Amino acid sequence: MSNSISLSKAVRSNLLSLQGTASMMAKTQERLSTGNKVNSALDNPTNFFTAQSLNSRSNDLNSLMDGMANGIQTLEAADNGLSSVTKSVESMQSSLRQARQDKSFKGVSYELDGATAATGGTITIAGTATSTVTGATTAGANYTAGSITAADITIQVGSATAVNVTLAANDTIDATISKINASALKDQGVTASKDAAGTKLILTSEKNQVLTVGGANGTAGTSGFTAGALTNTTFTARTVDSLVSDVNANTAINAQVRASNDGGKLRVENLLTSADVAISGLSGGKVTSGTAGSGTSTVGKNTVRGDLVKQFNDLRQQLDRTAEDASFNGINLLRGDSLKLTFNETGSSSLTIQSKGAKAINSTNLGIDVQADTVADSDASIDAVLTKLSDALGSLRSQSSAFGSNLSQVQNRQDFTKSMINTLQTGAANLTLADMNGEAANLLALQTRQSLSQSSLSLASQADQSVLQLLR
């Protein structure tokens, strides 16, 4: 006997309809719960895998956005540093301009005694702020490159004991300078340097002492050293006006001092920043004649200019410190570091950002040197440094413009990438997302259909029940 149940055609038809409606309701409910009309490759293989590819590219681009954001912050850090460095250079300019305008030179007025006015006496003014001797540059001279001999150079400051500095064969000018500056001469106020061309060795005494150079590497004349303007200048005192005229007309002294008639007295002003000026030939504070004129006097240096030069050097040091601190996430563009930003998922589009010439932005590369007090001794020296500062500002502004252009490129690419990510995500959504309003309407229609099918199934079952009534 068969265990299968036989259903009437009407019942079976209504049952199949209910099952189909239930299946569609389950699918619609899944779409409403996930928000997607394509949840797996079984739903729609083409749309599923295409959307997956679009979303993958969107995720790749989104990960690159972090690098771009960090790149923008690195550029902004560099720009902050450049702005601070530029302000430092402008402050340095201001300091030197103020020094140039300052004319608060110290001066002392001296009377002429009657004997001097009648017979004529003498007054001696120190001829230079610092005593200097310069190595000769004639071909074959000791300080021409590669011609240093393995022997001593002796340097004597005034009447002090000479200092021997041992040089090796073929020492360069720089090596010679280092050895001299490391010797006992530094305690006597002697420093070694070289001229702008790098071919002359210059010895300078900050205490205005006469320097005597000897030894195998210090032969006087064209094969070694020639003396600079080391002699003092002596003037014959007749009248105040004649002294004023003679001092101001003397080219050996008029860059260091200035004379004027101060109500019948000789006024001497020290135009220097780096050293005092010594006056000799005085007696009781007066310009006199004969053996009695053995007194001395000192005219102080311009300390205002000196302080402004110190301020200049302090600002220079701060400039370097600021540039060194302008880093973000370990990258400092002002230090010459390189920043590479990748713009697409294949790496074929990128931008490398670095300072011009891959050079660090610092005082040395900007051509801003530490300045000695002597730079303020003349307006021409100050003007030369101001010219270098103007060139440095030009370089800074050019670099700032370059970084600004780089920042604009990165920001534009960032905006483009954001738009691309939105386009890719929208395209993927169009392929997979369900129309929630439509699916909700479908569910309501399916619920109505299910209710009607259940009623129809009930009516069909009632026909079978009528047969049961006959059997009773």
Neighbours of 61 (CB within 10 A): 18
Q: Residue 227: its pLDDT value, please?
A: 46
Tokens of 124: 């001696």
CA atoms of 444 and 427, how far apart (whole Å): 29
What does the pLDDT average to over 234-263? Answer: 82
The model's confidence at residue 134, banded by pLDDT at 50, 70 and 90, is low
Contact 299, 106 (CB under 8 A): yes
pLDDT, one tens digit per residue, over 147-163 is: 566 677 888 876 678 88
With a pLDDT cut of 70, the percent of the chain lying above it is 78
pLDDT, one tens digit per residue, over 216-230 is: 666 544 445 554 444
Task: Inform me whether the pLDDT recorded for 317 exceeds 50.
Answer: yes
What does the pLDDT average to over 235-250? Answer: 80
Average pLDDT along the chain: 79
- 368 CB-near residues (< 8 Å, 6+ apart): 89, 92, 316, 319, 388, 389, 392
3-state helix, strand, coil in the chain (%, to 5): 50, 20, 30
Of the candidates 385, 365, 358, the one whose C-alpha atom is nearest the C-alpha of residue 374 is 385
Single pTM value for the model: 0.60
Q: Residue 133: its pLDDT value, please?
A: 58
pLDDT, one tens digit per residue, over 379-430 is: 888 999 999 999 999 999 999 999 999 999 999 999 999 999 999 988 888 8
Taken in order of first residue, the domains within the chain and their CATH numbers are 59-100+305-424 (1.20.1330.10), 107-302 (no CATH)
Which residues sit opposite 73 in a β-bridge? none
What does the pLDDT average to over 458-470? Answer: 64
Task: Inform me whether the pLDDT recorded for 248 exceeds 50.
Answer: yes
Neighbours of 19 (CB within 10 A): 11
Environment class of 330 (CB within 10 Å of its CB; exposed 0-12, middle 13-18, buried 19+): exposed
What are the angstrom distances between the C-alpha of 284 and each of 115, 242, 287, 294?
14, 21, 8, 9
